[in-house]
Amino acid sequence: GNPFLIVVAPVGDAPESALTRAFVSNGRQGVNYHRGVWHHPVLTIEKQDDFLVVDRSGSGNNCDEHYFEENQRLVLDPNPQEG
């Protein structure tokens, strides 16, 4: 597999852009999200890639979607300052 992006934000009513983090996978690992963690769908780095998604079984909705304003963009700093 190829490296891909993992974008997450902490549990809350809506994702907070200031608390959103992105990680680059090594392309050979799986990702499990804790209940309530906001996450972006898979983001490929390569032009094309294949993914396997396993979802839970059972009844009921297990996904809350958040739609950002059309002109809102999320820019992640590759070198965030700690503190």
Q: Where are the domains of the chain?
A: 4-44
Specify the pLDDT at position 10. Answer: 95
Q: The tokens 């997450």 sit on which residue?
A: 8
Residue 64, amino acid: D
Q: For the whole model, what pTM was predicted?
A: 0.78
Average pLDDT, 10 consecutive residues per value, the chain (83 residues): 92 90 91 91 88 81 83 76 57
Specify the pLDDT at position 81. Answer: 63
Specify the pLDDT at position 80. Answer: 65
Three-state DSSP at 7 gives: strand
Report d(CA 23, CA 7) in Å as an integer.
6
- Residues pairing with 43 in the sheet: 5
